[in-house]
Chains A and B, each alone.
Chain A
Amino acid sequence: MQLFKTPNIPFLKYKYIALALTVALILAGVVNIAFFGGLKLGVDFGEGTLLRVMFKDPVAVGDIRQLLSDIGLGKSTIQETGEKGREFQIRAMQVVEPGDSDDELIEAHQALADKIIKALRGDQGAAETERGLRDLNTIDERALTALLESSFPGSGPEAAQRIISYRTMSGIIARYPDLADLGLKPELVESLEAQTYLGSLSVRSRETVGPQAGRDLRRKAVQATVWALLGMLIYIAIRFKLEYGVAAVFTLAQDVLVTMSIYSFTSREINLPIVAGILTIVGFSINDTIVIFDRVRENIKIRRREPLEQVMNLSLNQTLGRTIITSGTLLLTVGALYLFGGEVINDFAFVMLVGTVEGVYSTITLSCPVVLYWQKLFKPKNVRNR
């Protein structure tokens, strides 16, 4: 099956339009970041605490905001993640003065997380704790085993393990009768009911990064990107020619910038996986670029008399089918990840989705013109430059 006969689109004619579009997108991103607070740094880069929580019963975002405003944290971002209004992601905004030391900051961030969890739990559970009951939704396996072992010697470890794995599967235990299906003895469930209570909240994850670690990670992210680009420049310069390396890296750098610009217009935050996503886009985009350059390299040998521009256009058209098919399969997988991959990986999937499309566009429209421009700039006397 053939996607289409080898087309004859004059791609190189559109280079200025493409360049204008790229510049416009990047400028829009810069303005958005500089003046409208776009591109928020996530918790990985040293900005406080990220909590993921799950409630026993559905809760409205407004209610959570009210609870947080009551303790002076109304500015936190609250995002509903799971279905049925039970799962939320809360990003506590920095409340500490910038003059504070790193140590104080991380302590403050941690205290903040504790404060939020306490506020979300509310009074609920206080009376039970007073009576010496344990929260079955937060108790760890070790403590639960000990608890069960004291009234049911010999069956503690197994029962505890079953209860905990049920809690792991469902996220939170909503009602005691749910435990009856686990094959536990009714009297065991009864005694559990007498010794524990079901807390309204389960903390699915909490992440706090101190300013020092955040700075570290920021530096590493920039280093990784710069070194990766440099590595590619060198490799391509060796395998092809310097101008091809320059063109590839130019294309990739604009991939990074345009993707980040677009990303800055969403409410998503920059975290480590986003950096990984951007580097992966770089990796994929370079694939496309190399396939085209490889074809140019091959065609130059066959078509010695034609100008380079024409050879490039031909190569772009010859490889177009492959470029579209490959990007298509990649989009299928990235799309699957975006739709089904879950909340934790969703930002990553989104950035990949944007970058995959953007990478194809930049490869086709920008990589070849840069080679030509570079040659015109540095080797103007040599008419038939290859």
Chain B
Amino acid sequence: MRKNLQWKVLFTLVVIIGAVVLAYPPGTKIRRGLDLKGGIHLQLQVVTEDSINIETDQEIARMAELLKKNSITFERASKEVPGRYSVSGLLADQEGKTRDLFDEYARDWDHSFTGDRAVLTLKPLVAQILSDQAVEQAKETIANRIDQFGVAEPLIQRQGADKIVVELPGVDDPERVKELIKVTAVLEWKLVKAGPAADEAALLQPYGGQVPEDAEVLKGDPKRGQSGFFLVSRVSVVTGKDLRTVRRTTDEWNNAAVSFSLNAEGGARFEQVTGENIGKQIAIILDSKVQSAPVVEDRILRTSGGVIRGRFTNEEADDLVVILKAGALPAGIKYLEERTIGAALGADSVRQGLVAGVVAVLAVMAFMVFFYRLSGLNAVTALVLNVVILFGALAYFKAALTLPGIAGIILAIGMSVDANVLIFERIKEEQALGKGILSSISMGFSRAFTAIFDSNLTTIISAIFLFQFGTGPIRGFAVTLIISLVANMFTAVFVSHLLFDLTVKKTAKALSI
């Protein structure tokens, strides 16, 4: 055996063994996509405007404070749109002072003056950073919630500027999961000034029909058995951020409930406020909906915590615990796309894909061996190797095998013999020109190579764009196609040539082709 042949054989063996080790056993080494495994795919959009809105509200409050502190006279500071607010009723002789204040303390905002009015606009770059942070935070929060909920191998990815893709294998209750993800989960405890009342008018009657400056009107959550309207103070006693622990418990009527304890700071505040307000109601509010409004019967010690009641089912209580532990979303989200594939359909797809694959392989093998005899066997070996390498690469890159991916493999089987067909046809032509066997083989390979190279590369180009613009299953298809085209250059050209070198003797009189 010639020396460079030894190296080629060794190299080929290493590649094959490597691929087998990586991919065996395929049942566990190859990650299956959602369409084969069953599960939920959600695409959602973060309403980044929400975070800009919150930022604007906070900025207005902070600025009003600052203006007062610096004894700058103004009438009111109010929001125009998210990301823009105005300060009106400014005095002309204080304009310079006001400008200096804006320059120093509101660096993220551009300001302009017209008459007695200043308009402050959030700088575009800052707005973009805020939006980006909101999406990133939302992703983290969702990941936390999913994690607490307990899903094996979830996939939570950002897509584009403000979208998040969530894939949950093995889960098939979309409503529950969607609810779990979507809840903004801002939890607050606020003192109740009045209520519950049947409607807003009745609620506000004692206040002359006007909502007092320091209060707001909130609705009860019908799901928690709370009907009517509440007038609560604007300032919250404690919020979800003050929670130390939360867990599911049962209340005195044996209904599911959620118990919580507070951190040191929140506990102290809670103790003080409850001590001062014995006999009054305190509302527990989730996303601006009153969950319950128990009467404070005694001072609640900072260490004792409390219980959220409200006719929860076990599942609802569990989900609330998950949500509270994972924290609040920085902005609202909306769903753009929802796909739920049942595990049974996925299993069917795998079965049918296998059948189609086996039929395809056998048909192509039979054809090649019938048509090209022993050389056909050579091509069949290359084909099998191609599939082995493909599986090895899928395992190595941890790429998910999807249903279109299976289709991609089956197509690759049909395609991978193309290179060999080109080569074999060329060898035949060379033989017809009266060349010897060995030189025909070597001419066949070298002459066919440019066509194989160019054609595989152009197909890879189209597959790359498919990968670039495709999502989920389609990406799986593009990946299998690309891998098998690259592997094809190796198996159909390098390995196949090697097989000829190894099997065709110099003294051979005829070639079985």
Contact = CB atoms under 8 A, between A and B. Distances in A.
A294 B411 contact: no
Given A280-B411, A330-B415, A352-B411, A140 B458 contact: no
Interface in A303-353: 318-319, 321-322, 325-326, 328-334, 336-337, 339-342, 344-345, 348-349, 352
Contacts of A232: 458, 461-462
A282 interface: yes
A232 B464 CA distance: 11
Interface string B441-485: 000000100110011111101111110111101100110010000
Interface stretch (A25-33, A175-183, A215-223): A215-223
Contacts of A321: 425
Interface in B332-354: 334-345, 347-349, 351-353
A189 interface: no
A23 interface: no
A103 B38 CA distance: 26
Interface stretch (B76-84, B365-373, B499-507): B365-373
Given A273-B474, A280-B481, A336 B410 contact: yes
B338 A340 contact: no
Contacts of B462: 228, 231-232, 279-280, 282-283, 286
A141 B334 CA distance: 28
B458 A287 contact: yes
B127 to A, nearest CB: 21
Interface string A103-136: 1001000100000000000000000000000000
Given A213-B336, A235-B461, A295 B421 contact: no
A223 B171 CA distance: 33
Nearest to A272: B474
A348 B478 CA distance: 14
Contacts of B417: 326, 329
Contacts of B343: 164, 168
A169 interface: yes
B166 to A, nearest CB: 14
A171 B454 contact: no
A204 B345 contact: yes
Contact of A333 (B360, B421, B429): B360
A20 B420 CA distance: 35
B428 A2 contact: yes
A333 B477 CA distance: 16
A334 B414 contact: yes
A267 interface: no
A341 B353 CA distance: 5
A205 B337 contact: no
B473 A272 contact: yes
B422 interface: yes
B349 A344 contact: yes
A330 B411 contact: yes
Nearest to A1: B371
B360 A342 contact: no
Contacts of A208: 337-339
Contacts of A202: 342, 344
Given A235-B458, A336-B356, A336-B410, A223 B336 contact: no
B384 interface: no
Contact of B466 (A1, A140, A207, A224): A224
B356 A287 contact: no
A262 interface: no
A207 B407 contact: no
B271 interface: no
User: Which label, helix, strand, loop or mixed, suits the secondary structure of the B interface?
Assistant: helix
User: Which label, helix, strand, loop or mixed, suits the secondary structure of the A interface?
Assistant: helix
Interface string A200-211: 001111111110
Nearest to B347: A168
Contacts of B469: 220-221, 223-224, 227
Contact of B470 (A52, A220, A294): A220
Contacts of A322: 421-422, 425
A57 interface: no
Interface in A15-59: 52, 54
Contacts of A331: 414
A84 interface: no
Q: How large is the interface on A (under 10, 10 to 19, 20 to 34, 35 or more residues)?
A: 35 or more
Contacts of B403: 344-345
A76 interface: no
Contact of A294 (B35, B347, B451, B474): B451
A369 to B, nearest CB: 20
A253 interface: no
B363 A236 contact: no
Contact of A337 (B172, B370, B407): B407
Contact of A283 (B359, B364, B367, B463): B463
Contacts of B59: none
Given A203-B342, A283-B459, A286-B459, A342 B352 contact: yes
Contacts of A220: 469-471
Contacts of A286: 455, 458-459, 462
A169 B342 CA distance: 11
Contacts of B447: 298
Interface in B298-350: 334-345, 347-349
A332 B425 contact: no
B418 interface: yes
A322 B420 CA distance: 10
Contacts of A110: 338
B340 A207 contact: yes
B276 interface: no
B466 A336 contact: no
Nearest to B376: A1
Contacts of A171: 344, 348
Contact of A340 (B43, B173, B359, B373): B359
Given A332-B363, A344-B403, A348-B404, A337 B466 contact: no
B355 interface: yes
Contacts of A205: 339-342, 345
A228 B466 contact: yes
A295 B372 CA distance: 22
A314 B352 CA distance: 43
Contact of B336 (A106, A283, A326): A106
Given A333-B414, A345-B353, A217 B372 contact: no
Contacts of A337: 356, 360, 407, 410-411
A109 B262 CA distance: 42
A167 B344 contact: yes
Contacts of B363: 332-333, 336
Contacts of A197: none
A273 B411 CA distance: 14
Nearest to B334: A103
Nearest to A232: B458
A188 interface: no
Contacts of A216: 336
A49 B175 CA distance: 15
B87 interface: no
B336 A276 contact: no
Contacts of A329: 364, 367-368, 414, 417-418, 421
Given A276-B404, A332-B364, 4 more contacts: A276-B466, A279-B465, A333-B414, A336-B357
Interface of B: 35, 38, 43, 45, 171-174, 334-345, 347-349, 351-353, 355-357, 359-360, 363-364, 367-368, 370-373, 403-404, 406-407, 410-411, 413-415, 417-418, 421-422, 425, 428-429, 447, 450-451, 454-459, 461-466, 468-471, 473-474, 477-478, 481
19 contacts: A1-B372, A52-B345, A110-B338, A228-B461, A231-B461, A276-B478, A279-B466, A283-B462, A284-B415, A291-B455, A294-B451, A295-B451, A318-B429, A322-B421, A336-B356, A342-B353, A344-B35, A344-B349, A349-B407
Closest 3 pairs (CB-CB, A-B): A342-B352, A333-B414, A224-B469
